[in-house]
Amino acid sequence: MELNENDEMTFGPVIRAQTSVITTVLNTQAKVDETRLRRQTLDRLPALLKLVEETAAKLPPVIEGELVQP
> Where do the structural domains in the chain lie, given as residue ranges?
8-67
- Please state, in angstroms and as integers, the Cα–Cα distance from residue 48 to each residue in 2, 43, 60, following that order: 53, 10, 20
C-alpha angle 35-48-51 in degrees, rounded to nearest 5: 170
Please tell me the distance from the alpha carbon of residue 60 to that of residue 24, in angstroms, as a whole number.
54
What are 2-19's pLDDT values in tens digits? Answer: 666 667 778 888 889 999
C-alpha angle 49-55-60 in degrees, rounded to nearest 5: 135
What are 18-55's pLDDT values in tens digits? Answer: 999 999 999 999 999 999 888 877 788 888 899 999 99
Cα-only R_g, the chain: 28
